[in-house]
Amino acid sequence: MTNIIKFIQHYLEQNNYLKNVFILMFGSGLSQLIPLLASLILGRLYTSEEFGVFILFSSLVSFLAVPATLRYEVAIMIPKKNNDAFHLVLLALAISFISSSILFIITLIYPISLSELLSSPNIRPWLIYLGTSVFLISSIQILSVWFNRRKHYKTISTMMITQSGGSATVNIIDGFMGKTSGGLIPGSLAGQLLASGILFPKFVRQTKRLFPFFSWQQLKRNAITYSEYPKYNFPHRMVDMISITGLPLLITYFFSEAVLGSYGFMLRVLKAPLGILSSSLGQVYFQQISDSVVSKKTILPLFKKTLFHVGLLALPFFIIILFWGPDIFAFIFGPRWYIAGTYAQYLSPWLFVSTLSSPVSQTPLSLGYVKLNMWIGIANNLLLISLFFGFSYLYAEAETVFKFMGYILPFSYLFLLYWYYHIIKKYEHTIKNKQGLR
């Protein structure tokens, strides 16, 4: 056994890509395993309606976190100089703080109107925390990109585990104490605070030598230099989030908070294994493809290797869900979640292909296809919303809607994968021609 461990350690030391993936996969895997294990308890403490309130709140936070930074955090990986990246971090944090403060004021003044607009009176007491959660989430995203740039994968892993563990602990305690009216919102906020408490102090310590070189002129110059991200990647990501947030809103509008809760519980459970793959592989892929493009190196082997690893690990999981999803959910989490397993069964083809494409989704940004990526993303997400709206209008049962969605949407993600491959081949051809001229 000792020899096997030594062999693995030696192999990881020789293979930097797998070493980085392993570090992030450990952190991401444990951080996703914690809510999965916690769901064994939470599924018996919280109702589907209470899960629905939490899903609606977290969807709003995810959506509002996009305009909170104008997507400047994506550009942090791009500059050659750390000082430029440092100024982009401060720029994104400043924009996030201003946006979140405005959101706090709005929710403080109009909580009743907003809860009526969302068709969810149960969310009203928690709307005032939207601004705080948006700032914390966007800050975590910004600083995670910085530490990814600096290849501090252990810091990212520690943060993910702490956030997940803190959130699960608070949710379980609240559940046993009967404080379930807000769903899992308090635990989510607690996890975000703990994660921020890890990232902010370490960022300050790591960049203290850069603070004396802070310049308002450079901040403005970087904002202009990387303005294509607010112009193009921001609208694209907003449409992405409209599809993510729009689905919970449409589910609540056409069906109920109970259906939304079952749908959200299904995603919460499936995100455990899915998050291990897409998060860890995706972060390492983005970092390595960015370095390779700057150095004019080939990236096609990295693209193929990432897809192979994701497909190899994800396919068996989704085959099991496709055939036995409802029974598995009912047996593990309780009979009330049988319907959540049914949703998982119907949506598994879509979730598999989207999982396959997720880690390599930063390919167009790394290769400079920011504008075209925006328009393709807009079309893809409008298709998602339009299909769900149309099927929900025609059919009264949510199961029927999810069944149609699960078998139609994979084709849109297969198209995205084909496009990623096409632009990589074009890039490879370009660098070969340039090398041939030398």
> What is the residue type of 1?
M
Which pLDDT band, with edges at 50, 70 and 90, does 110 fall under? very high
> With left for phi above 0 and alpha for psi between -120 and 50, is residue 119 left, alpha or beta?
left
Which pLDDT band, with edges at 50, 70 and 90, does 25 fall under? low
Whether the CB-CB separation of 103 and 131 falls below 8 Å is answered with yes
> What is the residue type of 321?
I
Residue 184 confidence (pLDDT): 85
Whether the CB-CB separation of 74 and 229 falls below 8 Å is answered with yes
**Alpha carbon distance 232, 244 (integer Å):** 19
Token code pair at residue 228: 């294509």
With a cut of 80, say whether residue 2 has pLDDT above it.
no
Whether the CB-CB separation of 262 and 127 falls below 8 Å is answered with no
Token code pair at residue 323: 């055939």
**Alpha carbon distance 61, 65 (integer Å):** 6
Residue 80 confidence (pLDDT): 83
Question: DSSP for 23-37?
Answer: HHHHHHHHHHHHHHH
Whether the CB-CB separation of 248 and 260 falls below 8 Å is answered with yes
Token code pair at residue 86: 């440092």
For the stretch 367-396, pLDDT in tens is: 888 788 878 888 888 888 899 999 999 998
- The H-or-E segment that residue 397 falls in is none
Mean pLDDT over residues 286-293, rounded? 82
For the stretch 312-349, pLDDT in tens is: 888 998 999 999 999 999 998 888 899 999 999 999 99
Q: Which of 93, 128, 91, 122 is nearest to 108 (CA)?
A: 128
> What is the value of pTM for the model shown?
0.74
Distances (CA, A) of 306 to 26, 60, 244, 360: 17, 31, 24, 8
> With left for phi above 0 and alpha for psi between -120 and 50, is residue 303 left, alpha or beta?
alpha
For the stretch 227-265, pLDDT in tens is: 877 777 677 677 667 767 788 888 988 888 889 999 989
Angle CA(84)–CA(88)–CA(94) in degrees, nearest 5?
A: 145
Token pair 């750390």 is found at 82
Phi, psi of 180 (to 5 degrees): -110, 5
